Structure 1
Amino acid sequence: MNAFQRHGITHLSASSVNLFVAQPALWCASYLLGKRTAVGPAAHRGTAIECGVEAGLFDPDMPLEDCQAKALAKFHSLTRLSADPRIEKEREAIEPTVAIALNELRQYGVPHKPDGERQHKISYMVEGVPVPVWGYLDFEFEQHGIIVDLKSTLRIPSEISAAHARQGAIYAGPGGNWQVRFAYASPKKISVYALENVEQHLRDFVSAAQAIERLLELSDDGEKLTRCLAPDLTSFYWGDASARALAHEIWGPSPDSAPPAVTAAVNE
């Protein structure tokens, strides 16, 4: 058994590897100790917007208002039991973002549905990584050879982030046969960027995956490995109350345990 398998890790994904790069302590808590934290309203906003945009792309005759209603209903279902004060701000962004994203992406046509499923799962071996790599494609426009990944944000970035570039390199598939585009949509505008230098970003992914493997090779004791790292509680990754409670549980109380000033980040 390789180091991943000894720790019960059967596959990797871009989100897993990106979490390790950004917050290795949280990665260990999540994947070695099985302690997952709740996501905040910004993530739920992204899920809701994707729901509305997906409905409008696969049914090009669906009225915009119906797509927006689906998005709002999804957001409500995800947040109805939460008292997070950020919910209202995130809800306000949903309808205009759905409208802007659909106006742009409906130009691509109707996405392909492999095996009848709207979201396409990919799984394949990447050289240098001993376990399969999984991914889920948002919108696969087979007629154009383009994969579009929708990112909901309140602020449009000027370029594809390093984390998203690693994600896109996985989505491009073996040999990079598909062009991957990231559509960053906000309530005011949308910017679509095509991923370049796919091979380099794939090498970056492999390098990060191998760093995880080297860590796991040090011990079969997941708790010991987790305690070798310390959480950065100033990061938005630890902004949710459940995440801070988890940090307290594993590493004990910290003077930095107060919630950071969280701004809405691009949803993964």
Structure 2
Amino acid sequence: MSQPVKISGVIITFNEEKNIARCINSMQSVCDEILVVDSYSTDRTKAICSDLGVRFLENKWGGFLEQKNFAQDQARFDYVLQLDADEELSDQLRIEIQKLKENWQADGYSFNRFTNFCGKWIKHSGWYPDAKLRLYDRRKGEWKGLDPHPAVEMSAESSTGKIKGDLLHYSYISYDDFVNRSASYARQAAFAMKAMGKRPSHFKMVCSPVFRFFKDYVLRGGFRDGIEGYLICKTAAYYTFLKYLYLKLIESGKLSS
């Protein structure tokens, strides 16, 4: 491209006063606008965004998938960098994105996400390397998949690349938070699966958690992350079990939204 591309930094939020400033500040040097789409936070999220001078819109929450697509559609520029509020760009990743602005080649770019769990950076357990496609031409990509973990999917004719640098993710500050959120996410995933016409499976409910733990703890080296790795892998298996259990309860009419 002869002209540098302009990038819209996009973030969705709800009660993110502890994280949002860090996320926004990390995007300032590479984004030509920063847009925050908030789900009517009751904390200081709106005030912090106002102080930092970003565009701030409010939209009723309809799930991660719906909100992320709504947010990208509100951006002023077609090239979008979409992060979560508990993420920030590392120094190296900012440098690589700045280079891309001068020489944009592919339609979308991925990079690794590096997660901090209760104060420890996790290098295995299925959490790293954790490639995420978050920098893309919205005309050729959109968010798809199951809540609460949708992902950007590019159109069939599009091209993708990968760049150096980590997206730093400050995930959980306590074990209780991790377990409780995993249960909540499993419930959301079950309703999303039901909406897609998926049926409950006793086999998957029993066997999938066992395989998930073996894959993450043994094959993906979770044991190398110490007690944190064990907790991460065990909770991932618990999430998988709950997801299929909730789907079974929904199907039987014993669980409703």
Q: Above 0.5 in TM-score?
A: no
Give the TM-score taking structure 2 as reference length.
0.27
Higher strand share: 2
Give the TM-score taking structure 1 as reference length.
0.26
Higher helix share: 1
